[in-house]
Chain A
């Protein structure tokens, strides 16, 4: 029974990956074929041909891409649920399970935002990111479905980990936006942004967006750390013990606190703020990868 459901879950995850791959290709097609080079040079003095973007030509590809994204989301959701049934607990017992749930949350956030804003320019990166996450998860991080070790048997698993996964997803999204800001800001300083990135909003919007994302999710991250502390108090007998995971969660918290202060109180904008945002996000990633894989301490369970 247990293995059957785990098997079903794996098949769903594989199918989701295939569908996300189609979505990725459709997104790439949409962007690539929207670029139109003029047939005659528009400057007589040189051979300059300004390329333009015409998304009307690739509207169908865009629709397919989004439809595949939705289908992938549904398949991945089924995969995560089946994984939960196979192990008889919320599927957050090891790094493989965090990763597939994180990818699900990431796709869900994108699709949710898509209902309100035209974010399809992000689809290429979202589908690629999800593919990479799932690929890493299923090849490197895969572990057999197993019951939880006693220390994980707690309601706080749901609360603490959900808060941490959502915060992480939004932090990483803020990082992507800040990275896009830095790239485009440089491109615009040196000339113009590349044609295929014309659809991305102005750098001012990106700058503001990464701040909004962080400001929105910072209280949730604070909550996640506090929920973890409450849980640690009942499982390990102390609410804070400078375990490597706790230390890095603290560093991430401090880094984002510094970022928010730098923006709100000191008035940092643009490049400096974007770098600080990326640094803070990297501490989160470091915590996720380094402490889980190479670290010691109480947050290492069941292999990974």
Chain B
């Protein structure tokens, strides 16, 4: 279209101004908006590190070349990737550049008087004439005021306007989106997130070393941890006896916070709240409580060992490491709360409650590598340098003896996984969300319209104009005219 137009040489400032105008144009904003939608798609089709890290690892194993290329374009972290950020940052700049000037303009318009009554009302919509007397204009003014119109009173006419809520709502909606973005960024910069497995009967103290995993926002650190203590008194999981599906998880806690100790209950939809920090009940499993003795009968290890659930019936795997035994002993184990045997899978669990618990294990001897400095999973043992010395299983109260000692399953306690999340930005995001909905409602359902009345020698003329040709003005003028006639 503008191919043949000669583009003048632009200075730097003019170039900036040109770029700014392009960026804040509606067309650009619309393209960016559509682009944002399209850019969000790959993140739902390709596994993401934030939601499904295991699938990402699997892809690296099954198709390393493809995974490498995915990673090169941040396709495993779409929502934190430079290109996704670029789109939404540009969109928000464009939005600010569009909305701020409009806000000022709207503010001025709200304070200004409605424009003067047009000369020729008969050309406008809903035009009608009626008889009038010297009271008519006064009655009209009162009707306008009662119906919250803003009026401009002239010598023999009134210009009235209503429906500024439409633009106000529209601007509020867009401004609230900025507030949501601020809330999200604030939360990710100053927030914290951690997880800890706590056995029933044990105490959890919120200090960095107590967490199994702990991560902070870029501008947060150890000092942002909310100091609280939780002792898990009891945990009950209820399952449907027919479908084995979970029906309820409840944990009874003793909570100490700011010098006060209280009994509390935590459920899946009912987290605990400490200021900006909330504690969620996120998962549960079983910890066999074992005693491992050496060949002399001295206790080398005693205590609960959390096992990781593998399926809905809580068949769990785990490792019992006994570095204090001589030589070091490790048990690679599998725990089933309700034991059953199948020919193809070996031991399986057929119900998630402790109806017939059984601990099955292989016993390994040698250097467990705990002093090597390489971080290890507490649920696994690298058995490549170890020697297998036995294979066994125990039920609660039973002891299994092998050449280097014995292992006793004393009892089984449940564990719960507490997720601790601090998000100081979420209340801003929530306020932003509420304002967004309210703003949308008033911008989509609000109607801006004007009504005029002028006294003429023959009587009075009435006309109106609705912006965006919104419906309903006809009825409004009808009731206005009726009010005038009644007097």
The interface of chain A, by Cβ under 8 A from chain B, is: 144, 146-151, 153-154, 215-216, 218-219, 222-223, 226, 229-231, 233-244, 247-248, 250-251, 254-255, 257-258, 261-262, 264-266, 283, 291, 295-297, 302
CA distance A231 to B26 in the complex (A): 34
At the interface, yes or no: B377 with Cβ under 8 Å from chain A? no
Q: Which chain A positions have C-beta within 8 A of B280?
A: 236-237
Q: Which chain B positions have C-beta within 8 A of A251?
A: 37, 40-41, 44
Given contacts A150-B267, A265-B26, 10 further A-B contacts (CB under 8 A): A146-B245, A150-B246, A153-B248, A222-B440, A226-B433, A226-B434, A237-B421, A241-B51, A254-B34, A265-B30
CA distance A153 to B245 in the complex (A): 14
Segment with Cβ contacts to A, from B268-276, B285-293, B296-304, B317-325: B268-276
A-B interface, 3 closest residue pairs, ranked by CB to CB distance from nearest: A254-B37, A150-B268, A247-B44
CA distance A253 to B50 in the complex (A): 22
At the interface, yes or no: B29 with Cβ under 8 Å from chain A? yes
Q: Tell me whether B34 and A242 are in contact (CB under 8 A).
A: no
CA distance A154 to B271 in the complex (A): 12
Q: Tell me whether A258 and B436 are in contact (CB under 8 A).
A: no
Q: Which listed residue (A219, A248, A266) contacts B437, Cβ 8 A? A: A219
6 contacts between A and B (CB under 8 A): A147-B247, A150-B247, A222-B440, A223-B437, A258-B33, A266-B27
Q: Which listed residue (B78, B249, B444) contacts A215, Cβ 8 A? A: B444
Q: Which listed residue (B33, B36, B40, B282) contacts A237, Cβ 8 A? A: B282
Q: Which chain B positions have C-beta within 8 A of A243?
A: 51
CA distance A162 to B50 in the complex (A): 29
Could you tell me which residues of chain B, from 18 to 61, have a CB within 8 Å of some CB in chain A? 26-27, 29-30, 33-34, 36-37, 40-41, 43-44, 48, 50-52, 55
Q: Which chain B positions have C-beta within 8 A of A266?
A: 26-27, 30
Q: How far is the CB of A122 from chain B (nearest CB, A)?
A: 21
CA distance A154 to B247 in the complex (A): 13
Q: Which chain B positions have C-beta within 8 A of A240?
A: 184
Q: Which chain B positions have C-beta within 8 A of A230?
A: 430
CA distance A233 to B78 in the complex (A): 22
Q: Tell me whether B426 and A248 are in contact (CB under 8 A).
A: no
Q: Tell me whether B26 and A235 are in contact (CB under 8 A).
A: no
Closest to A301 in B: B245
At the interface, yes or no: B388 with Cβ under 8 Å from chain A? no
Q: Tell me whether B30 and A261 are in contact (CB under 8 A).
A: yes
CA distance A219 to B468 in the complex (A): 19
CA distance A219 to B172 in the complex (A): 14
CA distance A296 to B52 in the complex (A): 9
Q: Which chain B positions have C-beta within 8 A of A238?
A: 421, 423
Q: How far is the CB of A241 from chain B (nearest CB, A)?
A: 6
CA distance A291 to B193 in the complex (A): 27
Q: Which chain A positions have C-beta within 8 A of B44?
A: 242, 244, 247-248, 251, 291, 295
Closest to B36 in A: A254
Q: Which chain A positions have C-beta within 8 A of B246?
A: 149-150
Q: How far is the CB of B184 from chain A (nearest CB, A)?
A: 7
Q: Which chain B positions have C-beta within 8 A of A236?
A: 280, 282
Chain B 405-422, CB-CB to A under 8 Å as 1, else 0, gives 000000000000001010
Could you tell me which residues of chain B, from 384 to 420, have a CB within 8 Å of some CB in chain A? 419
Could you tell me which residues of chain B, from 234 to 286, have a CB within 8 Å of some CB in chain A? 240, 243, 245-249, 267-271, 278, 280, 282
Q: Which chain A positions have C-beta within 8 A of B37?
A: 250-251, 254-255, 258, 283
Q: Tell me whether A257 and B33 are in contact (CB under 8 A).
A: yes
Q: Tell me whether B43 and A242 are in contact (CB under 8 A).
A: yes
CA distance A242 to B280 in the complex (A): 19
CA distance A283 to B426 in the complex (A): 27
- For chain B, the bracket of interface size reads 35 or more
Q: Which chain A positions have C-beta within 8 A of B282?
A: 236-237
At the interface, yes or no: B441 with Cβ under 8 Å from chain A? yes
At the interface, yes or no: B204 with Cβ under 8 Å from chain A? no
CA distance A257 to B30 in the complex (A): 9
Closest to A223 in B: B437
Q: Tell me whether A247 and B43 are in contact (CB under 8 A).
A: yes
Q: Tell me whether A144 and B269 are in contact (CB under 8 A).
A: no
CA distance A233 to B433 in the complex (A): 14
Q: Which listed residue (B33, B48, B249, B271) contacts A254, Cβ 8 A? A: B33
At the interface, yes or no: B216 with Cβ under 8 Å from chain A? no
CA distance A261 to B174 in the complex (A): 12
Could you tell me which residues of chain B, from 220 to 246, have a CB within 8 Å of some CB in chain A? 240, 243, 245-246
Q: Tell me whether B40 and A247 are in contact (CB under 8 A).
A: yes
Q: Tell me whether A258 and B426 are in contact (CB under 8 A).
A: no
Q: Which chain B positions have C-beta within 8 A of A264?
A: 468
At the interface, yes or no: B429 with Cβ under 8 Å from chain A? yes
Q: Tell me whether A234 and B269 are in contact (CB under 8 A).
A: yes
Closest to B426 in A: A239
At the interface, yes or no: B480 with Cβ under 8 Å from chain A? no
At the interface, yes or no: B127 with Cβ under 8 Å from chain A? no
Q: Which chain A positions have C-beta within 8 A of B184?
A: 240
At the interface, yes or no: B79 with Cβ under 8 Å from chain A? yes
Chain B 445-487, CB-CB to A under 8 Å as 1, else 0, gives 0000000000000000000000010000000000000000000
Beyond A150-B249, A296-B52, whether A254 also contacts B40 by CB under 8 A is yes
Q: Tell me whether A218 and B269 are in contact (CB under 8 A).
A: no
Q: Which chain B positions have C-beta within 8 A of A234?
A: 269-271
CA distance A215 to B441 in the complex (A): 10
Closest to B238 in A: A150
CA distance A76 to B247 in the complex (A): 28
Q: How far is the CB of A246 from chain B (nearest CB, A)?
A: 9
Q: Tell me whether A222 and B437 are in contact (CB under 8 A).
A: yes
Closest to B271 in A: A234
Closest to A214 in B: B444
CA distance A254 to B84 in the complex (A): 14
Chain B 356-368, CB-CB to A under 8 Å as 1, else 0, gives 0000000000000
Q: Tell me whether A262 and B30 are in contact (CB under 8 A).
A: yes
CA distance A243 to B47 in the complex (A): 10
CA distance A258 to B31 in the complex (A): 8
Closest to A234 in B: B269
Q: Tell me whether B444 and A237 are in contact (CB under 8 A).
A: no
Q: How far is the CB of A72 from chain B (nearest CB, A)?
A: 31
CA distance A250 to B40 in the complex (A): 8
Q: Tell me whether B48 and A150 are in contact (CB under 8 A).
A: no
Beyond A146-B245, A230-B430, A237-B421, whether A261 also contacts B33 by CB under 8 A is yes
CA distance A7 to B243 in the complex (A): 18
Closest to A216 in B: B444
Q: Which chain A positions have C-beta within 8 A of B268?
A: 150-151, 153, 235
Q: Which chain B positions have C-beta within 8 A of A218?
A: 440, 444
Q: How far is the CB of A151 from chain B (nearest CB, A)?
A: 5
CA distance A215 to B442 in the complex (A): 12
Q: Tell me whether B269 and A153 are in contact (CB under 8 A).
A: yes
Q: Tell me whether B245 and A149 are in contact (CB under 8 A).
A: yes
